[in-house]
Structure 1
Amino acid sequence: MLGATGLRVSEIGMGCWAIGGPDTNLGLPMGWAPVDEGVAVRALERAHQLGVTLFDTADVYGHGRSERILGRLVEQVPRESLVLSSKVGYFTGTAPHGYHPGHMRRQLEQTLDNLRTDHLDVYFLHHAEFGPDDVHLAPAVEAMHRFREEGLIRVIGMRGPHRHAVTRLSGQPRVDKVRRFHELVERARPEVLAVRDNLLTPQNRSAGIFAFAEERGCGVLVNKPLAGGLLAGEYRSDRPRLFGAGDHRSRKRWFTPAAVAMLEQGLAEVRAQVGPDLVRVALGSCLRRSDNAAVLVGFTSLEQVERNITALTTPPSDAEITRARDIMGRVQRALDASGEVFLDETGARS
């Protein structure tokens, strides 16, 4: 159950960012590798067959492509068997701002068309940049509440503490993300929060968000539980991947060969401690965070869907999760403290 929303969902949901394929937005690569749409549809169908009810996308994922692919599943199955979430804000188009109310309505209407439905179960404010002096904040919040009153959406969602992609690129001074997040929650009154959490997330950073959500009765959708496949052991330092121009991994330091080599050492230690199934421990760790949390797992293939959904047939124990968190926490701290030169999230040297 997602907090006090009344929405009951499968504890593992499908994150549909990757099936949007390569893309750029705001001058940055924001997508993934090329995707076969037929394979993506079959993977979504298989997820639904295996009991998944939660499917998450966004207007900016492939600029509507992810939504349209997901819509091919929606038209095949009973709408009441699905909980659909999407997001608004990162794609501006010709509007003065991504949170201009008229633009938000047009984006919502297009999202509903793409998904072949008449309503969304959760609609997220995708980022926390509302213009100078938050000039667009009040109108955006008003628009979201109006959408809910009109029955176009059931629940308002908001992203957890984060930095807007362009502020990273522009070098603007850092703000206190947690304080900013708390201020926005008070004004936007979301009922579901999207929170990044995995074995590489500093535990003291995310624990407070889950406690905050429980205090307010908010549901939580945990994203990036496998860190883009890194925690599933899908990358090898001796076989570095080449990422295309529209692939966001090209600007992320965790995907460099040097970082992958450090991760490999930690994952080998995790396997020695808790067994070979890394996905089981990674997903179990996220789900153990809160009774009000579901986990969104990305995919590009049928095999990944089946692996991820069936991983928790035998859930990890508390002891296994603790050992894995301790090991990968050391990896995360070692990488941050390393004298090596890595790419930060903007592609700049750090």
Structure 2
Amino acid sequence: MQKRKLGKSGIEVSPVGFGCWAIGGPFWLDGLPDGWGEVDDDESIRAIELALELGINFFDTADAYGTGHSEEVIGRALKGRRHEAVIATKFGFTYDAATRNVYTKVDVSPDYIRSACEASLRRLATDYIDLYQIHAGGIPLEQLDSVIETLEQLKRQGWIRAYGWSTEDTERAEAFAKRSTGAAIQHPFNVLIGHSDMIDLCERHQLASIDNAPLAMGLLSGKFNRTSRLPSDDVRGSKHEWVLYFKDGEPKVEFLNALDAIRDILTSGRRSLVQGALAWIWGRSGSTIPIPGLKNVGQVEEAAKATSFGPLAPEQMKEIDGILRSLQVS
């Protein structure tokens, strides 16, 4: 598959990215675990190195992931290879790195954005960020112009190459598209929640659609069943109300049923479920760039191989849509 562009920025990335939330290790939000359990930094570094070798060059992180630890691991892994990678990170949530606590208090003032950008540059061991994203999806629209102007200043200074917003709110995304030279909107998107409004918006404004949770927080990997239970130190088992696909550490039955109904289509042509889930996203739009969370070399190999299969065929996309509509899932 050919590389995809980050909107009108001209920056080219692999059609699948490397989501770096999990490699940040344990941290807390609102007093609840917000990471994916303990991780092995050496394994994370091997995974990043292998991703580059297999053609995955887009790495998406945030200063909040592990309160900076994810960025530090990326910086170590890309030492001497920075020019081969496209790095996206995010800002806006405040945190205490000493205690690894992230706070719901958001700061998008010009001074904070600049200081957050400087801190990310240090941790990433680089002198520029390819895509700098607003992390807080619900900032008031009256603050947006100030944020955009600060990001434009960072572009002029060469600290960042492009910028975007991580938000599920189409009204905010529309305002961002009209008021800025932004390159991307990051939002949740997968076959189980295939809402088209944000995709249509990205296509209309020539923005990249960076798709987080493309595997429904792992549910689309196929490794969970009705008896599965995740530990409380995993974000999926930590009782966050916004975790959509799991409740109290258990996968939601309605999503497991939906997966069972479309499993054969997703695994057609000898694809794995993961590869089929990515193929569905590519089949939906040429603007999509899914960023599955990857933690080890095996996951990287599986994601990279998905590109050799390409997108699902239009008739397969239509069949899945019909099945999910009948189940009232999508």
Same fold (TM over 0.5): yes
**Are 1:111 and 2:137 counterparts?**
no
Residues 237, 250 of structure 2: 8 Å contact kept: no
Per-residue Cα deviation, 1:44-95 (whole angstroms, up to 9, x for no partner): 1111110111111100011001001111122131x3211111011122569x
CA distance, structure 2, for counterparts of residue 287 and residue 225 of structure 1: 11
For the structure 1 residues 160 and 329, does the alpha-carbon distance in structure 2 shift closer, same or farther, using more than 3 Å as the test?
farther
Q: Structure 2 residue aligned with 1:14, among 3, 15, 18?
A: 18
CA distance, structure 2, for counterparts of residue 308 and residue 122 of structure 1: 22
User: CA RMSD for the aligned pairs?
Assistant: 2.6
CA distance, structure 1, for counterparts of residue 307 and residue 45 of structure 2: 23
Structure 1: 5+ residue stretches without partners: 162-176, 335-350
Between 1:307-316 and 1:320-329, the stretch displaced more is: 320-329
1:30 counterpart residue number = 34
Between 1:192-201 and 1:28-37, the stretch displaced more is: 28-37
Residues 24, 70 of structure 2: 8 Å contact kept: yes
1:153 counterpart residue number = 160
Structure 2: 5+ residue stretches without partners: 97-102
CA distance, structure 1, for counterparts of residue 209 and residue 112 of structure 2: 27
Moved over 4 A (4+): 328-332
> Offset at 1:274?
4.8
Q: Structure 2 residue aligned with 1:101, among 91, 106, 110?
A: 110
2:174 counterpart residue number = 182
CA distance, structure 2, for counterparts of residue 258 and residue 66 of structure 1: 26
Q: Structure 2 residue aligned with 1:70, among 74, 94, 107?
A: 74
1:53 counterpart residue number = 57
> Offset at 1:182?
1.9
Between 1:55-64 and 1:233-242, the stretch displaced more is: 233-242
Alignment of 1:1-350 (within 5 A): 1-77=5-81, 79-91=82-94, 97-130=106-139, 134=142, 136-161=143-168, 177-201=169-193, 203=194, 205=195, 207-244=196-233, 247=235, 249-250=237-238, 251=240, 252-256=243-247, 259-275=251-267, 277-315=272-310, 316-330=312-326, 333=329
CA distance, structure 1, for counterparts of residue 237 and residue 315 of structure 2: 32
CA distance, structure 2, for counterparts of residue 188 and residue 29 of structure 1: 35
- SS of 2:329's partner is helix
Tell me the number of residue pairs that the alignment of Structure 1 and Structure 2 aligns.
Answer: 312
> Offset at 1:271?
2.8
- SS of 2:217's partner is helix
Per-residue Cα deviation, 1:270-293 (whole angstroms, up to 9, x for no partner): 234453721122101111232233
CA distance, structure 1, for counterparts of residue 245 and residue 295 of structure 2: 20
Residues 192, 255 of structure 2: 8 Å contact kept: no
> Offset at 1:26?
4.6
> Offset at 1:128?
3.5
For the structure 1 residues 332 and 197, does the alpha-carbon distance in structure 2 shift closer, same or farther, using more than 3 Å as the test?
farther
CA distance, structure 1, for counterparts of residue 22 and residue 266 of structure 2: 29
CA distance, structure 1, for counterparts of residue 325 and residue 219 of structure 2: 14
The code of the aligned residue for 2:107 comes to G
For the structure 1 residues 68 and 263, does the alpha-carbon distance in structure 2 shift closer, same or farther, using more than 3 Å as the test?
same
Residues 222, 295 of structure 1: 8 Å contact kept: yes
> Offset at 1:259?
4.4
> Offset at 1:34?
1.4
Residues 93, 106 of structure 2: 8 Å contact kept: no
- SS of 1:231's partner is helix
- SS of 1:222's partner is strand
The code of the aligned residue for 1:297 comes to P
CA distance, structure 1, for counterparts of residue 46 and residue 31 of structure 2: 32
TM-score by length of 1: 0.81
**Between Structure 1 and Structure 2, which shows a larger proportion of strand residues?**
2
Residues 281, 320 of structure 1: 8 Å contact kept: no
Q: Percent identity?
A: 29
